[in-house]
Amino acid sequence: MSAPAISRRGALLGIAGALTGGPLLAFGDAGAFHPRLLGVGGEPLTGPRATAPSHWTFELVRRTNAPGNASSPIVRADEAALLAEPFVIWAGTREFPELSPSEIRGLRTFLTLGGMMVVDDLEPERGVFQRSVRRELGRILPEHPVVKLEPSHVLYHSYYLLDRPIGRVVGPPTIDAVRRGKNAQVLLLAHDLLGALARSRADDWALAVVPGGYGQRERAVRFAVNIAMYLLCSDYKDDLVHASWLMRRRARSRP
C-alpha cells in the first residue's frame, strides 16, 4: 500500500509553490491552517512583514503534523469570504476610523460562529492600532469585554511549553483576549509577532528582535506555533489525560 497522499514533504512543497506564486491545493487543505489577513482598519502588510503569514505556516508544517496553506489572502470584513474559514489576522500600526455597520456585522458573525482572530500590533511601542481595535471590539461584541488570559492558559502549552507571549519585541508578559465561553476568540498581541516571523529576500530573518538574540526569535516562532495549535485543537492540551502529565514535566524543567 502506498503512503498517504499528503506527506509532510508534499505540504512543504505546496508551501514552496505558494511562496513562488501559485497555490497548490489538495484534499485536506480546506481544514489546514490558513493565515488570512483582515483588510479593514489597518493597512496592507508591506515590506518583509508581508512574508510573515506564509512563514508562520511554513514553521507550523515543518515543526508539527498540522497541515497548512501558505497563501495569505486579504479578506474584507463585509464580504462572505470572511466566513469561508475560521481564522483571520488583523494587523496594523495606525489608528483608524470607526468601521462601517456592515463591517461590524461581518466581524460579529465571524466571531459568533466561532471564528478566531489574532490582533497583532506591529508598532506596540505606540499602541495606537490596538487602541482602535479595542474600540471596535467594544462595538462588535459589546457584551464580551477584553480580559487578561491567565498564565496557565492552554495557549502556553498547546505544543511548546512557554511561560509568556513574545514577538519581535518582548512586550507585556500576558495576553489580553476576548473570550466567549471557554474559548479565547480574539487574541490581542502587543508583541509584533508578524515582525518576528518576517523573512527577507535572502531568506533570512528580516527584522531584528528587541532586545535580541536567537532565543527570543525561537520563542516567538514557538509562540506562533502554539497559537496555530490552539486554533486547530482548541483546549485539547487541557484535557485531563494531558494536564497531569504536563504538570509533572513543567515541575521537572523548573530549577
Partner 1 sequence: MSARTWALSEDLTTAWVVVVVAVGVLSLAVLSWELGRLDRRRGWVAIIGMLATLTLGGAVLRPVSIETHGSVVGARVVVLVDGSRRLLLPLAGETSRRDAALEAVAALREHFDSARLTLLEFGDDRLEPFTAAAETGAARSPRMLDSDLVTAIRHLGDQSVERPQAIVVVSDGRLTRPGEDLEGEPLSTILGGLDVPIHTVAITHETPADSSILRVDTAGAVVAHQPFELRVEVACVGGLRCGTIPVRVRELRLGADPVELASGRAEPTSEPVEVALSIALERAGARVLEVALDPPHGDTISDNNRRYIAFDVARDRIRLLHVAGRPSYDARALRMWLKGDESVDLVAFFILRSDFDDTQADESELALIPFPVDELFTQHLPSFDAVILQDIDAVTSKLARHLSTLARYVETGGGLIMVGGPSAFSGGQYAGTELERVLPVTLPEARQYFDATDFVPRYSTAGRTTPILRALRDLLGDELPSLPGANLLGPARSQAMVLWEHPLLSAAKAPMPVLALGEAGDGRAIALAVDGTHRLGFGKLASDVGGRSYGAAWDGLLGWLMRDPRYEPARIRLAKPCIADEPMSLEVVSAPGMSGAVEVSVDQLGTAASDSRTVRAEGAKTGTVAVPIPPLGPGGYVARARVGASPPMRFEFACERAGGTFADVRPDVARLRRIAEATRGVAVGLDGVRGLPQPTNVRVAAERHVAPWLPAWIWSAAAATLLGLYWFARRRGGLT
Give me the residues that bind partner 1 (CB under 8 A), please: 1-2, 4-9, 25-32, 62-67, 80, 83-87, 109, 112-115, 157-161, 183, 218, 221-222, 229, 231-237, 239, 241-242, 245-246, 249, 252-253
Which residue matches cell numbers 503512503? 3
Cα distance from N-terminal residue to C-terminal residue, the chain: 48
Q: Of 85 and 103, which has the nearer Cβ to partner 1?
A: 85
Q: How far is the CB of 203 from partner 1 (least distance, A)?
A: 17
d(CA 64, CA 69) in angstroms, rounded, equals 14
d(CA 12, CA 22) in angstroms, rounded, equals 14
Q: Of 16 and 84, which has the nearer Cβ to partner 1?
A: 84
Q: How far is the CB of 26 from partner 1 (least distance, A)?
A: 5
Q: Of 55 and 129, which has the nearer Cβ to partner 1?
A: 55
d(CA 97, CA 13) in angstroms, rounded, equals 41
d(CA 5, CA 198) in angstroms, rounded, equals 30
Q: Of 49 and 217, which has the nearer Cβ to partner 1?
A: 217
Fill in the amino acid letter for 237. K
Q: Compute, in degrees rounded to 10, the torsion defined by CA atoms 71, 73, 77, 82.
A: -50
Q: How far is the CB of 60 from partner 1 (least distance, A)?
A: 10
Q: How far is the CB of 252 from partner 1 (least distance, A)?
A: 7
